[in-house]
Structure 1
Amino acid sequence: MPRRFHDAEELLPPATLLKRALAIIYDGLISIAVLLVATWAYTMVGGWITGWDRFEEMAEAGQLSGDPGLTFVLFLVLYVFFAYFWTRIGQTLGMQVWRIRIENLDGTSVSWSQALRRYVTAAAIFFIALLAGYYVGPITLLITLPAMIALFMPINGLSLTDRLSNSVVVQVPKETK
């Protein structure tokens, strides 16, 4: 059941690009820690299942490089991490710091499927930028960077991830005491 953050009639202002960017940076740092822990757990389970001696031989031979299982697990862990916060309270830790929230247009929390659409869209944009920098080169990446930023930049208050997930990122008002 979706959580109601405010009345449907109450419209909160859309979050600014600066606040979105700062929250992305903050959450990116937290994501690195989450990915490190998930990689450690994956390695421990892999070593236990395979046997530590065999696992060490595989690692030294380079057979564990580019493991698609690890890639899938890390992608899934990050989705669960972000979707949990987005569906529960509408805010990741970085979003809480910068007082912005993801919600539906009627002021309710987003669903897991909306969170999945938002996550996959953001991941696709990130990987396109990463691949462009790797294959095309850093100079060309600097030229295409404004186009990538435009995908996240809100137009009429909605970014591409907002449109595809049918949600909006709003500024949360300060609580009065």
Structure 2
Amino acid sequence: MSNIEHANFPRAGFIRRLGAIVYDLLLAVAVYMVAGAIGFGLFTALTSSGLIGMQDYEHVSDLLNGTPVYKGVYQLWITLCVAAFYVAFWSRGGQTLGMRAWRLKIQHPNGQSLSVVTASARLVWSLLGIGNLWILINGDKLALQDMMTRSEVVVLSKEANQMRNWRGV
């Protein structure tokens, strides 16, 4: 989806991005906790039904943490849920809730929204947020993930931010 009106907004600086990151980190922790609870519930159901044996463990949590395969699948599940949080918001309107609070939007320079593939690549290139430090080194207000995905984070006007709903319309 392209929004040509958003093509001319200024790029966001480091401090504004940091504010949105802190806000979104709280949301990501909540997603992590919910995904962990769902994953643990499913694992408990599988052990209760006998599909997964308890081996020599007394508690389900000991089995989950003491078996590398189960622990790896569990951690992968949680990681994918948190990643899906960011990718879904970035590809459906360009704003997470924290970005909306700080009036930020991720887009291509022409105002076009990111695809799921581009949003996923952006997540990888962000290096867990460390890629934003690149803004402090250069003067064009582009982070590592911006340069690698040919995208930018812009500061929307109050009016433009209020007109957007969660789907980016």
1:44-82 Cα offsets, whole Å, 9 max, x none, are 001111227937535246515781112211221112111
Q: Does 1:31 align with 2:14?
A: no
Give the one of 15, 18, 21 matched to 1:21. Answer: 18
CA contact 2:135–2:141 (8 Å) conserved in 1: no
Kept after mapping to 2: 8 A contact 1:152/1:161? no
> What amino acid sits opposite 1:150 in the alignment?
L
Structure 2 residue corresponding to 1:168, chosen from 135, 152, 162: 152
Query: Structure 1 residues 64, 39: CA separation in 2 closer, same or farther (over 3 Å shift)?
Result: farther
Q: Which residue identity is paired with 1:59? A: S
Aligned CA-pair RMSD:
2.7
2:61 corresponds to: 59
Amino acid across the alignment from 1:19: R
8 Å CA contact 1:24–1:94 kept in 2: the answer is yes
> What TM-score results when the alignment is normalised by the length of structure 1?
0.75
For the pair 1:107 / 2:90, whether they are aligned, the reply is no
Distance 1:44 1:81 in 2: 20
Alignment of 1:2-13 (within 5 A): 3-7=1-5, 10-13=7-10
Distance 1:112 1:152, change over 3 A: farther
Question: Could you tell me which of 41, 45, 60 is aligned with 2:42?
Answer: 45
SS in structure 2 of the partner of residue 67 of structure 1: helix
Number of equivalent positions? 153
The answer on whether the counterparts of 2:13 and 2:135 sit within 8 Å (CA) in structure 1 is no
Q: Which residue of 1 aligns with 2:92?
A: 88
Q: AA paired with 2:44? A: G
Taking the aligned partners of 2:137 and 2:150, their CA distance within structure 1 comes to: 13
The CA distance in 1 between the partners of 2:45 and 2:81, in whole Å, is: 20
The CA deviation at 1:6 is 2.6
What is the deviation of 1:89? 1.2
Contact 1:58–1:64 (8 Å) recurs in 2:
no
Residue 102 of structure 2, aligned match among 85, 98, 104: 98
After TM superposition, the score normalised by the length of structure 2 is 0.78
Contact 1:13 1:170 (8 Å CA) reproduced: yes
**Unpaired segments of 5 or more residues in structure 2?**
163-169
> Are residues 125 and 59 of structure 1, via their aligned partners in 2, closer, same or farther at CA, if it must alter by over 3 Å?
closer
Unaligned runs of 5+ in 1: 130-147
